[in-house]
Structure 1
Amino acid sequence: MKALVLGSDDRFTLATAEAPTPGPGEVSIRVEYAGLQWGDVLVGNGHFPTPRPFIPGFEAAGTIAAVGEGVDPARIGTPVTALTASGAFAEFVTAPAVLAFPAEGLDPRTAAAFGWATPTAYDLIGTVTRVRPGDRVLIHAALGGVGSLAAQFARAAGAARVVGVGGTAEQADYAAGLGYDHLISRSAFPDALADERFDVILDPVGGPARLANLDRLAPHGRLAVYGNMATFEPVRINADDLLMTGASVLTHNSHLLSRTHPERLAAGATEALRLLTDRRIRIDVSAEYELADVPTAIQRLAAGGTRGKTVIRIG
């Protein structure tokens, strides 16, 4: 099969590889499109050390070509969107059957764009922070894969006000279509917020922004941490200070959840898929690349300023 391989020299090359065979509880997927996400940036820059050679790619859409032991053979030939541990930048990939979700009614590009971002956004809003009607919500990386969906899920949950950090004034109309009431640039945060406080803040940034977020929490507010895009330097938080205002700091790691409790991740993903197929939310595919152009796509994602979702055409 054709695959994109990351070698020991940190370079990507198109190569021919043996198609993987599904193990017990797994399916093999003939990939039509793969999704690009922040994990591809971290693998590419060496932050997540992986044995080389390595086929990256963590999100796949296509049809089930074969099943492993314990998986219903009737699933063969059905369209799916799948969350993978690796290998999606290839013509075939294996995935746990529980994380290969039926994708009838979705075109392959949208199915690939569903990826990890959609269930992550759903869980951040519905499970981690439990956004309630009337809540005020602040979302960093507002126009990215998770942020653009989190705003929509917050609106669906009844949030009274949703503010985004990231983007430019020219993107305000686009942000409004996602459910944002207001959009501010990263450089304007937090000064542009004046004295505004929030019941829920989603933070994939880290560093000084994390401390500024704590200062913006309303009494009993919830800060959800799910990444460190700006820096991996630790931020120290005083639990006694949180206690004085009833604030909470929560974390979410969907990749860990896929290994420890995949059924929980699948439950959120299934509900998110229902909202997508019912057209209550939308996923914007903002860019499409060929497999050979993945390095360029990763560079552009790492540079920031992208909005929506990038997909890679495989089949």
Structure 2
Amino acid sequence: MRAVVLGTDNHFRTVECAKPVPGPGEVAVRVSHAGVQWGDVLVRDGHFPIPRPFVPGFEAAGRITAVGDGVDPSRIGEPVIALVGGGGFAEVVLAPAALAIGAEGIDARTAAAAGWVAPTAYDLINTITGVGPGDSVLIHAASGGVGTLAAQFAAAAGARRIVGVVGNADRADYARQFGYHRLLTREEFPGALDGESFDTILDPVGGATRAANLAHLAPHGRLAVYGNIATFEPVAVSTNDLLTNGQSVMMYNSNLLSRTHTARLAASTTSALAQVAAGLIRIDITAEYELADVGTAIENLATGATHGKSIIRIP
């Protein structure tokens, strides 16, 4: 089968390799589309200690073609979205059966684009911060895969005001279609807020942005941290100040969740996909690449040349 391999020289190559065979509790999925996400950038840039050569790709859609011991053989032929720890940029990927989640009623392109971003956005709004009617929400990276979905989930939860922060004016124009009431560029944040505070803030950025977010958190507000796009430098937080204001800083790590509470991640994915299938939530695919162009797709994501969601087509 064909697969994309990231080598020790930091280059991506399409190679021929043996088709993987599912072990106990696993399924094999014939991949038709795979999603491109920030984890691919982090792996490329060496932030995860993964031995190379390595087949990247953490989200893939297709049909189950084989099952390992302990998996119901009637699942063969089932359309699924597979959340995996790698191997998605290939014609066949192995996935834990519990994280090969049924995608009936959703086309494979959309299922691949849903990937990890759909359950992440769903959990950030509904499970972690518990956005409810009347809440105000601030979302960073508002034009990205998680940001565009989080705004829609927040609106569905009854948020009265949803503000987004993006990299530039072009990204603001793009993000407006997802229900934001106001959009700021990175240069405008936080000065243009004029002291406005928020019940929920979603922060994948870190650094000075994280410190500014704390200053704009309302009493009893929730700051959800789920990444470090800008910097991995730690940000000091006074728990005494948080206690005084009834505030919370909450962490979300979907990769860890997949290993420690698999059923919970699967349930969130199923709930998110149900809203997508019902047409309540829209996933915007803005770029589609061939398998040989994985390196370009990841570079375009890293440099901000793309917004929304990018996918790889594997015919």
Whether TM-score is above 0.5 comes out as yes
Matched, 1:29 2:29: yes
Does the residue aligned with 2:297 lie in a helix, a strand or coil? helix
Residue 274 of structure 2 is matched in structure 1 by: 274
Q: What TM-score results when the alignment is normalised by the length of structure 2?
A: 0.98
Equivalents in 2 of 1:185, 1:174: separation in Å? 12
Which segments of structure 1 move beyond 3 Å, counting only runs of 4 or more? 167-174
Residue 11 of structure 2 is matched in structure 1 by: 11
Equivalents in 1 of 2:170, 2:55: separation in Å? 37
Corresponding residue pairs, total: 315
Equivalents in 2 of 1:126, 1:141: separation in Å? 18
- What's the % identity of the aligned pairs? 65
Equivalents in 2 of 1:179, 1:269: separation in Å? 22
Residue 262 of structure 1 is matched in structure 2 by: 262
Native 8 Å contact 1:167 1:183 kept in 2 = no
Matched, 1:180 2:180: yes
Equivalents in 2 of 1:45, 1:169: separation in Å? 27
Native 8 Å contact 1:168 1:183 kept in 2 = no
Letter in 1 for 2:90: A
Native 8 Å contact 2:172 2:185 kept in 1 = no
Equivalents in 1 of 2:146, 2:280: separation in Å? 16
Does the residue aligned with 2:240 lie in a helix, a strand or coil? helix
Q: CA deviation at 1:305?
A: 5.1
Does the residue aligned with 1:183 lie in a helix, a strand or coil? strand
Q: CA deviation at 1:102?
A: 1.2
Does the residue aligned with 1:188 lie in a helix, a strand or coil? coil
Q: CA deviation at 1:173?
A: 5.2
Residue 288 of structure 1 is matched in structure 2 by: 288
Q: What TM-score results when the alignment is normalised by the length of structure 1?
A: 0.98
Native 8 Å contact 1:5 1:54 kept in 2 = yes
Q: CA deviation at 1:301?
A: 0.6
Residue 213 of structure 2 is matched in structure 1 by: 213
Residue 244 of structure 2 is matched in structure 1 by: 244
Native 8 Å contact 1:202 1:224 kept in 2 = yes
Letter in 2 for 1:83: L
| Residue correspondence of structure 1 range 1-315 to structure 2 within 5 A | 1-172=1-172, 174-304=174-304, 306-315=306-315
Equivalents in 1 of 2:302, 2:251: separation in Å? 23
Equivalents in 2 of 1:24, 1:164: separation in Å? 44
Equivalents in 2 of 1:306, 1:299: separation in Å? 9
Equivalents in 1 of 2:238, 2:249: separation in Å? 11
Equivalents in 1 of 2:182, 2:20: separation in Å? 46
Equivalents in 2 of 1:157, 1:305: separation in Å? 31
Q: CA deviation at 1:19?
A: 1.2
Equivalents in 2 of 1:135, 1:159: separation in Å? 5
Does the residue aligned with 1:301 lie in a helix, a strand or coil? helix
* Unaligned stretches of 5+ residues in structure 1: none
Q: CA deviation at 1:195?
A: 1.4
Q: CA deviation at 1:171?
A: 4.8
Bigger shift: 248-257 or 3-12? 3-12
Equivalents in 2 of 1:213, 1:73: separation in Å? 49
Equivalents in 2 of 1:171, 1:298: separation in Å? 18
Q: Deviations over 1:123-168 (max 9, x none)?
A: 0000100001100000000010100000000000000000000054
Letter in 1 for 2:247: A
Native 8 Å contact 1:139 1:165 kept in 2 = yes
Does the residue aligned with 2:301 lie in a helix, a strand or coil? helix
Letter in 2 for 1:71: V
Q: CA deviation at 1:108?
A: 1.3
Equivalents in 2 of 1:54, 1:175: separation in Å? 34
Q: CA deviation at 1:300?
A: 1.0
Task: Assess, with a 3 A threshold, how the Cα gap between structure 1 residues 7 and 172 changes in structure 2: closer, same or farther.
Answer: closer
Does the residue aligned with 2:187 lie in a helix, a strand or coil? helix
Q: Deviations over 1:89-123 (max 9, x none)?
A: 00000011111111122111111001101100000
Q: CA deviation at 1:176?
A: 3.1
Does the residue aligned with 1:57 lie in a helix, a strand or coil? coil
User: How much is the aligned-residue C-alpha RMSD, in angstroms?
Assistant: 1.1
Q: Deviations over 1:151-199 (max 9, x none)?
A: 0000000000000000544455543321110111011100111111000
* Unaligned stretches of 5+ residues in structure 2: none
Native 8 Å contact 2:59 2:88 kept in 1 = yes
